[in-house]
Structures are given as structure tokens and as C-alpha cells.
Amino acid sequence: MPNILFKLNYLDPGSGSLLVQLIAAGLVGGIGILLKVFWGRIKAFFKGEKYVPPAPESDEDDEDEA
Amino acid sequence: MSNARVSSSFRDPSGYLFTRNDTLYRQVNRSYAKAYDKFVDSGLYDELSTKGWLVAHQEVDIKADNAELAYRILQPQKVPFISYPYEWSFSQLKDAALLTLEINKLGLSKGMILKDASAFNIQFVDGKPILIDTLSFDIYRKGSAWDGYRQFCQHFLAPLALASLVDVRFMQLSRNYIDGIPLDLTSSLLPGKTRFGLSGLNVHIHIHAKMQQQYADKQGAANNAGLLTKDALLNMLNGLIKTVQSLTWQPGGTEWGEYYSATNYSDDSLKQKGELVGAFIEKGNPSTVWDLGANNGLFSREAAKRGIFTVASDIDPAAVEKDYLTVRGQGEKNLLPLVIDLTNPSPAIGWANSERDSFNDRGPVDMLLALALIHHLAISNNLPLESIADYFAATATWAVVEFVPKSDSQVQRLLSTRKDIFDHYTEEGFEEAFTRYFSIVEKKPVSGSERTLYLLKKK
């Protein structure tokens, strides 16, 4: 799996600028993602079923070329 | 056959722009072939160009200068006038920012991502922002962050935040910093309240600036592999959109924003002046017009509505903002409002002073409009009438110029606080200065005033 800092591009994205995106994505999207995960659990609880986490997203866009 | 590489086109090795026999082409290099194919095959190009978000192009079959490098040659649709972010009004920059983010989201849905976020890649055509760099897309790799994020924050978010929360004149700072306003500078200028709360500025500007400092010259930690999922990246982009949308600026309170309502023009004499300007434009029959000191573009529209491409420039960001909002709201064509201080127009900037052209270098133009302008140049700015005539003659073949005599109330207002050193500022003096280069084709009084409108043609 590629590192977010893995690829070299013509534009220097800046290490700090890459890392701050983790914070930005987490802050903005964090609540939404948490809700999504827990909604599944809550639904499963009330239906009396065992919670099965959704399968991870497929790696459709992964084009590894060194 | 004359080939010239466009001087601003050197950063990205994916390709470059060149002109041959006055036609603009874009070479796509072999190194970019895979990304280019995906860009086309995924339908991204079609969708972007159909939406009017990206300049359309045709693949052409002409011989490349360096065939071993070339993969494709494209002929992009020509943009009528190249303008720069430091010439845009607040909403122009904001719309350009939002377009960049929306394009990136659409790209992600097709497995691609913007590899940069330069405001110079956006231009305005018929009142709408459009991306002009066809090679801005890279193949998205799972887990990767957005390489253009830093540039987006510097080129768009920083000037918008400063203009919105501190002073609109900070828009001009982009002229000093060709790669966008440094985030540490932005962070120190923004009000303290932006460090808290959910505006997004805390992360995108303040923490971002800190992180840049902390990680300068350092390799990033190696344990972030795959942490940024596509959903997380989309969340971040949506967050950025909200942050940009929350930044606003109300025009008003500046010098000229209320000009027409504050002056003694009646609606009737404005209408008659418009008809006179329109008649002069038709006599000159230009295909391009620059309206200098256009205010909110009232008279620029006399040209634009006749299908003539018109740049409406003014020093006042409020007037230009109003002009742009009208163009956008009415879907008007052929009109480009820009913030230009004619006494200090945009210089050529960047490497070797040749990356971004000066305002003058983007001329000459067929016709200039200079309405209610001469007295500001001659009296407020002490410019000799000869210098004004020199500049007009170097810039255009035709000029529609309004001479505002000293007896006019607006000139009296300018003179009320200073010594009248302008003995030469008379109708005779004006004609003497301008007829060195121009012949007077027509001369008509502006009704309801002591002003005179001239139609001048270069000798």
C-alpha cells in the first residue's frame, strides 16, 4: 500500500501539508465516519443481529508503479 | 514556421504550451501518456468540457518539435483575455476556488486527482471560471493525499480569508507572491478568533502553517500509509468547500461603489451618454475593447452587448465586484471585469519577468473607452495630458474619451483641497495633446453636463 508521502510529483506538496490533510480529513469527516460505523452497530443491536462490519472498499484506483 | 514555447509553461514535465503561426498548441509528453489516456477514457475530459469547467480542445495532427517526447498535440479553444488572480474581485477568486474543488471531486469520482491547484490555471470566459490546464490531472492512488492542497491554501484560501476577515486590499498581495500568500504570513495576519471554531481556517491556515514549519526540510513520518482513504479525502474537499463558502465580502464603503447614485447624473442623461458611446463604438467597429475606469461596467456593456469582447477595468474592488456579480447573475457574455489601478497597472512578474504578462503586454486593443477618467489621471495623479495621450496611442487604434472641464462639479471637488497647478487642463490643451497621435473623428457634448465626448482614431 502506498504511503501518502510515497509518490514524487513535479510539485513539492510539502510534508507538513500532506500531514495536515489527515487532521483536516479527520476533523471534518470524523463525525460523519463515526456515525456511519455506529449506525450499523445500532441497527444491528435493535434487530438483535450480530454486527458485521462492511467489507473494505476495493482497491479500484490502486495502480502501483514504482 | 515559428515555434515559441509559452514562457509561463515550464513547471510541469507532462507537457507544455507553444505557439506556431499564431495558433496556440499544447504538447502532451509521453511521460504523461498513461494519465492522459485515463483522463480521456474515463470520460472525465468529456464531462468537464461539457459542463464548461475545462477548456475544450481538439487533438491535431501536426508535427511535434521533439517527436521523441511528444505523445499528442492538442489545440485548445482560445481564451479571449488572460487575467490573473490579483486582478480579480473577491467573488471571482471565490468562484475560481470553488470550481477547483468541484473539479477535484469530479476527478476523484473518475479515479483521477488534480496534481496542482494554481489560481493561474483558472480563467474567466463569459462570466464563468474555467480550468485551462488540461494536464492538471494525475491518476489517483489509493491512500494518497492531495499534492495540490498546499497550493490551494496559498493561492485561494489565504487571499480569500484575508480579504473577507481583514481587508479586501489583501487580494493584491498575490501579486508579490506568485506561488500564493505564505501561510505563516496569513496566519499572523488573520484575527485570533480564526484559531478556534469550525470555520476550517484553524486547520487549513493556522495548523497548516505550524506543520509546514515543523516539517520543513524533514521527511514525513513513514507510518501514514493508506490512512487517507478516498472518503476521508472527499470529506476534506467538502470541508474546504464549506470553508470557502463561509468567506464573504460585502462591496460598499469604498471610493466608487456608489458613484452613479452619488453624482449629479440623471437617469436620462446616463441613457443619452450610453447611446452616444454606443454610436461611437459602432463607428470604430472594434473587435476588442478595454474600458479603463469602467466603474461597475455601465458603459462597457455598450460594447459587450454588441458582441465585442470587453475588459472592464477599475481601481475599485467594490465596483468590480458589483460588475462581476451582474455579469454572473445575468449570464452576460463578452464582458470581463478586472481590478486594475491604471496609475500602477499589473507588472510582468515571475521568472525573468516573463511568466505573467504586464497589463500593457496583453494589449494592444482595438478601442479604449476612457469615460470620466481623464480628470482623475490629470488632476488627482498629476499626469500631463501628453503622457495620457502617449499611453492611449501605444495601447489602441481607437479611443472614446470624455473630457471633463475644470468647471465640472467633479473636477471642482478634486481641486477643492489642492492648489490648481493645471493651467494646461483645458479643452484646447486636451485636443493639442491628443491630436499629436489621433485625429478627431467626432466630438459631441454630453447632455446635461459641460463635458465633451471625443471619438479619436490613430493617425
- How do residues B428-459 score in pLDDT, each as one tens digit? 999 999 999 999 999 999 988 899 999 999 99
ipTM, two decimals, is 0.74
DSSP B157: I
Give the bridge partners for B16, in sequence order. Answer: B27
Name residue B310's amino acid. Answer: T
- Coil, strand, or helix at residue B263? coil
**How far is it, in rounded angstroms, from Cα B286 to Cα B366?**
5
Q: Is residue B448 a contact partner of residue B275, using CB atoms and an 8 Å limit?
A: no
Chain A residues contacting B, CB < 8 Å? 1-7, 9-11, 13-29, 32-33, 57, 59-64
| Domain membership of residue A34 as a residue range | 14-53
Do you know the residue count of chain B?
A: 459
The percent of residues in chain B predicted with pLDDT above 90, rounded, is: 80
* Residue B193 pLDDT greater than 70, yes or no: yes
Q: How far is A45 from chain B (nearest CA, A)?
A: 26
Inter-chain touch A10–B219, beta carbons under 8 Å:
no
- Residue A66 inside a domain? The answer is no
The pLDDT value given to residue B240: 96
* Residue A57 pLDDT greater than 60, yes or no: no
The pLDDT value given to residue B142: 86
pLDDT in tens, B287-314: 999 999 999 999 999 999 999 999 999 9
* Residue B60 pLDDT greater than 90, yes or no: yes
In terms of DSSP H, where are the helices of B182-309?
Answer: 183-189, 201, 208-215, 230-246, 259-262, 267-284, 300-304
**How far is it, in rounded angstroms, from Cα B395 to Cα B334?**
20
Inter-chain touch B228–A25, beta carbons under 8 Å:
yes
pLDDT in tens, B330-382: 999 999 999 999 999 999 999 999 999 999 999 999 999 999 999 999 999 99
The pLDDT value given to residue A37: 55
* Residue B94 pLDDT greater than 50, yes or no: yes
- Coil, strand, or helix at residue B213? helix
* Residue A66 pLDDT greater than 60, yes or no: no
pLDDT in tens, A6-26: 455 677 778 888 888 888 887
The pLDDT value given to residue B255: 54
Phi, psi of B53 (to 5 degrees): -90, -20
- Residue A60 inside a domain? The answer is no
Task: Return the residue in A1, A7, A8, A17 with the most chain B beta carbons within 10 A, the one to mutate for interface testing.
Answer: A17
Task: Return the residue in A7, A10, A22, A28 with the most chain B beta carbons within 10 A, the one to mutate for interface testing.
Answer: A28
Q: What total number of domains does chain A contain?
A: 1
CA B60 to chain CA centroid, nearest Å: 29
Inter-chain touch B142–A61, beta carbons under 8 Å:
yes
* Residue B398 pLDDT greater than 70, yes or no: yes
Question: In this complex, how many residue pairs, one in chain A and one in chain B, have their CB atoms less than 8 Å apart?
Answer: 154
pLDDT in tens, B6-22: 888 777 889 999 999 98
Q: Which of B136, B100, B144, B135 is nearest to B116 (CA)?
A: B136
Q: Which of B308, B414, B319 is nearest to B369 (CA)?
A: B308
Q: Which of B437, B395, B175, B140 is nearest to B290 (CA)?
A: B395
**How far is it, in rounded angstroms, from Cα B87 to Cα B61?**
36
- Residue A7 inside a domain? The answer is no
The average confidence (pLDDT) of chain B is: 92
Q: Is residue B8 a contact partner of residue B120, using CB atoms and an 8 Å limit?
A: yes
The pLDDT value given to residue B35: 95
Q: Which of B28, B19, B13, B132 is nearest to B73 (CA)?
A: B28
At B204, the pLDDT band (50, 70, 90 cuts) reads very high
The pLDDT value given to residue B257: 52
Q: Where are the domains of chain B?
A: 3-76, 85-246, 259-458
Q: Is residue B123 a contact partner of residue B78, using CB atoms and an 8 Å limit?
A: no
At A54, the pLDDT band (50, 70, 90 cuts) reads low
The pLDDT value given to residue A62: 47
At B260, the pLDDT band (50, 70, 90 cuts) reads low
User: Under CATH, to which class is B259-458 assigned?
Assistant: alpha beta
What value does the mean pLDDT take over residues B140-148? 90
What value does the mean pLDDT take over residues B171-180? 96
Q: Which of B94, B99, B93 is nearest to B114 (CA)?
A: B99
Inter-chain touch A61–B227, beta carbons under 8 Å:
no
* Pairing mode of beta strands B70-76, B57-60: antiparallel
Inter-chain touch A13–B220, beta carbons under 8 Å:
no
Across the interface, of A22, A24, A33, the residue whose CB is closest to B224 is: A22
Across the interface, of A3, A11, A16, the residue whose CB is closest to B225 is: A3
Q: Show the cell assigned to B431.
A: 485636443
Q: How far is CA B425 from CA B289, B388, B417, B422, in A?
A: 26, 12, 17, 5
The pLDDT value given to residue B159: 98
**How far is it, in rounded angstroms, from Cα B402 to Cα B295?**
14
The pLDDT value given to residue A19: 83
* Residue B262 pLDDT greater than 70, yes or no: no
